[in-house]
Structure formats: C-alpha cells, structure tokens
Amino acid sequence: MSGKNMEEKVEQATNSKNISLPVSRVRLIMKSSPDVSCINQDALFLTTKATELFVQHLALSSYKNGSGKETNTLSYSDLANVAEETETFQFLTDILPKKILARDYLKSLEEMEKDDENL
C-alpha cells in the first residue's frame, strides 16, 4: 500500500487508547528488574504503549535499512544490521549478534592462532 496509508495507520495506533500487548506480562517483566516493587498503573500503561511503538520503530527501521526493500522481506540480518548501525538500538547488540558460518569462524580462529605463533 502507499506509504501515506501506512503512516496514517501508525499514527492511529500511536494515538489510540488501545494496546495490543498483555499488561500483566509487561508488569511481570518490569518486576524482574531489581529494586522494583510497586509499579504505578500509569507507568505500566506508558511502558506497554512505548513497547508497542518500539516494536513498530524497530521493524520499520530494520525494513528500511535492510536489503529487503526489493524483496519486500524483513529478515534477521536486517535486525542485526540495524542494531549495530543505529545508535538508538545499540543496547540490542548483545542479543542481536550478526551470524557467521561456523566454518568461517573456525577459519578466522585458525588464522588468529597462526598469527600468534608467528609473533
């Protein structure tokens, strides 16, 4: 569909009172942080809403940033790339590592060992 339609949809979701994520689950995750005992209802709602926006933002940024534009797909590598390149998503680099073939990794390990021997 046209980009304008999509932006309207996103804007609608942004301003809507409706949330698509289970609030109780969000509270559970928040409570898993240390030192948190009580969570205000408004804070919980805000976090849920912000999480929704975050998912939209991440998906859209990865999609726009990635090679999927031609193929119209969003793949894991798009996510990994955006995590590394965008400052906002830097906190995700640990859980979105770039994937390499095992044999490539083993090869680079061997090369590193050879370099160490040569030193």
Partner 1 sequence: MDGDSSTTDTTQLGITGEYMTGGTYVLQTQDDDGDESFNDHEDGNGSKDYFREQDIYLPIANVARIMKNAIPQTGKVISGNFKNVSCNLGSKDAKECVQECVSEFISFMTSEPLKLYLQKFREAMKGEKGITPVTVSEGLGEELTDESFTGQLPAGLITADGQQQNVMVYTTSYQQIPGVQQIQFS
Using alpha carbons, select from 95, 114, 98 the residue that is nearest to residue 106. 114
The length of the chain is: 119
Report the residue number, 42 or 115, with the smaller CB distance to partner 1: 42
Least distance CB 15 / partner 1 (angstroms): 7
Q: Which is nearer to partner 1, 99 or 114 (CB)?
A: 99
Cβ closer to partner 1: 70 or 117? 70
* Of 25, 69, 72, 70, nearest in space to 51 by CA: 25
Work out how close the CB of 75 gets to partner 1 at its nearest, in angstroms, rounded to a whole number.
Answer: 5
Nearest to 16 by CA among 55, 61, 53: 53
Burial grade of 60 (CB within 10 A; 0-12, 13-18, 19 or more): middle
Joined together, the tokens standing for residue 48 give 């849920």
User: Which residues are near partner 1 by CB under 8 A?
Assistant: 1, 3, 6, 9-10, 13-15, 17, 20-23, 25-26, 28-43, 45-47, 49-60, 63, 68, 72-76, 78-79, 87-88, 91-92, 95-96, 99-102
Q: Compare residues 72 and 118 and give the one whose CB is closer to partner 1.
A: 72
